[in-house]
Amino acid sequence: MNGNTTITATVAHLLTPAERQHWKLAWLSTVDHKRIGILYMLTGLVFFVIGGIEALLIRLQLIVPNNTLLAPDTYNWLFTMHGTTMIFLVAMPVLFGMMNYILPLQLGARDMAFPRLNALGVWLVPFGGILLHFSFLAGGAPAVGWFAYTPLSEAPYSSQLGVDYWAISLLVLGIGSVSAGINFIVTVLTQRAPGMTLRRLPLFSWMTFMNAFLIILALPILNAGLVMLLIDRLLGGRFFLPFGGGSAIMWQHIFWAFGHPEVYIVAIPAFAILSEVIPVFSRKPIFGHEFVAASTVVIVFLSLLVWAHHMFTTGLGHAVDLFFVAASVLIAVPTGVKLFNWSATMVGGRVRFTTPMLFCVAALLQFLIGGLTGVSHAVAPLDWQTKNSYYLVAHFHNIFVGLIIFAILGGLHYWFPKMSGRMMSERIGKWEFWLMVIGFNLTFMIQHVLGLAGMPRRTFTYPDLPGWGTMNMISTIGAFFMAAGSILFVWNLVISLFRGPPAGDNPWNAWTLEWATTSPPPHENFHALPPIHSRRPLWDYANPDRPDPVVPVGGAIDTFRPDKIKAGVLTFIISEAGFFGVLILAYLFYNATSQSGPGAQELDVLKTSIFSVCLFASSFTIWRSEAGLRANKLGKMKAWLIATIVLGGIFIVGQGLEYWHLFQSGVTVGLDLFATTFFTLTGFHGLHVSFGLLALLVVLGVALVSNLKNGRFPALGAVGYYWHFVDVVWVFVFSIVYLWPLIR
């Protein structure tokens, strides 16, 4: 309420007394999930400005037909960068930041399970973003669309480095995303406060948990595709180039197997925000909590099965098309369940039209439209007309902006008081809301008609056909309304940070645990927790006359609490399995028919069998090492560990010799499809073995210098799991690459 709060006072507010001496370090080296969450969101905001300017330039070029504001290549990299930036550098970081901030609080936890891994994740975002934008200085930004279809993104057609920077930056960002996914899963499994069973999780936390499985499954698929593209571009590989025997369509399968789950990875957190905000401002719990929770699981599962609805026009054949029609229309059902439940939540409530509620109701309605046009795309014959037109552009912007950005704005207005201790301005908030809603609908509703009128997407200009100029101009005007709304939002953020009225612990009278502590929370999050018997502990606490029905403890699964480090490694292994799965499938696909030229007959199966046996034996030795640790026979533990390292080393040396021999006989990566797939698959396996050896050496080093008398050394078990996984992968690879050709 003191309108003259100075910058000094605000800064003092953001840092503890000890940190004020080292404020730079406090934020740059933080492992506190709250600070990391804010860093994620600020990074996302910076890239939102960049991506937004790119959008405005695009719309300015399209404002009249035959416009000459931008050269075609400029336009083409603008829409490529706009899409890539908005998805990977805005939507994901901002949502991951919100999940990072709120999840531990809702669980009643002190922090995420792996705070240092969390810090790695957040710093990979600006790193990846800078890498991507470095392409401007290295010959030009990529101009192949955010999904970089081959062969256009291959070296013969995109010879500059832009695509390489794009691929590498996405790899970096993907690693960060997977690390965040692992952290979310293990945090939910291991950091919940007593009484917070899985069934008592608030929907935001439950959906974050489910979403994390999608993250760890989908991003590795993209990573596999990206390394394959880079091998094509930089090493002369043949994966996606038809004249080498490769398949241009294979890229699309791999990309969309990632890409469709990806859109759910950004949509589910938006659903999660709506599921928190709408009940609080209707003054009622969510209608059908279990159904909303269950529908999330169904969506996660189905979203992995719909990818080729992005490929209806590539000529996969009706049978294949129809499978994806079925899966895609099916996914509308659990999605509809959510929409109906949010709507029913508001019925009979006492609606409070705060800025967060306005944005979330708007998000619900825009998502209704976007979801319905999505169903129209799932009907393949309609997609045969509307795909790659502005109708499609309108559809996905209804989801990305109408649902996701509006939900983000609602969520930020909702949780800003918790994060900063101050309220945002409702007056400015209403202006933001109307500018965004009017602007969004002006921009994108008309694009449905524009697409049906025949305008294709990704065109730097268009002919002066009747109606096209007018429709485009309306669309461009709308974009500037949104720009104004966004500027107002940032303004609101800044002045509220300095001059907003104090928020108190629970300004909205909400019910989940983040509101059971100060605003902002102390470093350790909670000094005390209320009793947790239902999904709304604070409602129960404030309404002892009519508490929520107790959510019973549902057996072992509900209270499942695995060891943190084992859970982390196993989650990581799941993600790696996805990565290798794609490489193995690609190998099988490309080597299914015998090709002429150097093939599997070049391989020395006998020699490889020998060092393979060594690798398999090393699984035995590490198992003995863990047994030694359990029996407190530390000498044995170290001896077996050394044996493991030696055997693993033999494998690597053996593989290195094999590669050397192959190179000497002229079998290099770019020679033919067999060589490309062989070196990629075995090479990445070898890389994983090498990293495993490094980890084993570190474990050995720690074992040698530490006092392990109390028998606790979880790192050994963790690396053990990883090592067994690498061996299992080799069982598959060895069988498929070396043994199968012998019996074929």
Stretch that binds other proteins, among 374-382, 436-444, 570-578, 645-653 (CB under 8 A): 374-382
What 3-state class would DSSP assign to 94? Answer: helix
Looking at the Cβ atoms of 314 and 559, the one nearer to other proteins is: 314
Looking only at residues 131 through 150 of this chain, which bind other proteins when binding is defined by CB under 8 A? 144-145, 149-150
Looking only at residues 539 through 578 of this chain, which bind other proteins when binding is defined by CB under 8 A? 539, 543, 546, 548-549
579 binds other proteins (CB under 8 A): no
384 binds other proteins (CB under 8 A): yes
Q: How big, in percent rounded to 5, are the helix, strand and coil portions of the chain? A: 70, 0, 25
422, β-bridge pairs: 502
CB of 385 to other proteins, least distance (A): 5
Tell the burial category of 301 from Cβ atoms under 10 Å away from its Cβ (0-12, 13-18, 19+).
middle
CB of 689 to other proteins, least distance (A): 35
CB of 360 to other proteins, least distance (A): 12
CB of 244 to other proteins, least distance (A): 10
Cβ atoms 555, 197 nearer than 8 A: no
Q: Which of 584, 532, 586 is nearest to 559 (CA)?
A: 532
Looking only at residues 439 through 458 of this chain, which bind other proteins when binding is defined by CB under 8 A? 449, 452-454, 456-458
List the helix and strand counts (H, then E) for the chain: 26, 0
C-alpha dihedral sign at 660, 665, 671, 674:
negative
Query: Of 6, 12, 20, 352, which lies in the binding site for other proteins, with binding defined by CB under 8 A?
Result: 352
Angle between helices 162-190 and 115-134 (to 10 degrees): 160
The DSSP output letter for 592 is S
Q: What are phi and psi of 502, to 5 degrees?
A: -60, 145
CA pair distance 88, 644, nearest whole angstrom: 40
Residue 344 in tokens? 């029913």
Query: Of 322, 490, 494, 742, which lies in the binding site for other proteins, with binding defined by CB under 8 A?
Result: 322
- Distance spanning both ends of the chain, measured CA to CA: 80
Looking at the Cβ atoms of 181 and 371, the one nearer to other proteins is: 371
Stretch that binds other proteins, among 124-132, 340-348, 516-524, 587-595 (CB under 8 A): 340-348
CB of 278 to other proteins, least distance (A): 10
Q: Taking the C-alpha atoms of 436, 267, 182 and 331 in order, what is their torsion angle to the nearest 10 degrees?
A: 180
Stretch that binds other proteins, among 177-185, 427-435, 465-473, 658-666 (CB under 8 A): 465-473
Looking only at residues 249 through 278 of this chain, which bind other proteins when binding is defined by CB under 8 A? 249
CA pair distance 266, 91, nearest whole angstrom: 7
Looking only at residues 273 through 292 of this chain, which bind other proteins when binding is defined by CB under 8 A? 281-285, 287-291
Query: Of 58, 60, 230, 329, which lies in the binding site for other proteins, with binding defined by CB under 8 A?
Result: 329
Looking at the Cβ atoms of 261 and 374, the one nearer to other proteins is: 374
Looking at the Cβ atoms of 88 and 281, the one nearer to other proteins is: 281
Looking only at residues 157 through 196 of this chain, which bind other proteins when binding is defined by CB under 8 A? 157
369 binds other proteins (CB under 8 A): yes
CA pair distance 609, 590, nearest whole angstrom: 23
504 binds other proteins (CB under 8 A): no
Count of positions on this chain that bind other proteins (CB under 8 A):
93
Looking at the Cβ atoms of 72 and 666, the one nearer to other proteins is: 72
343 binds other proteins (CB under 8 A): yes
CB of 442 to other proteins, least distance (A): 17
Looking only at residues 477 through 496 of this chain, which bind other proteins when binding is defined by CB under 8 A? none
389, β-bridge pairs: 456
Q: What are phi and psi of 188, to 5 degrees?
A: -65, -35
Looking only at residues 66 through 105 of this chain, which bind other proteins when binding is defined by CB under 8 A? 71-73, 76
CB of 399 to other proteins, least distance (A): 15
CA pair distance 395, 447, nearest whole angstrom: 9
Look up residue 365 and give its amino acid.
L
CA pair distance 593, 582, nearest whole angstrom: 18
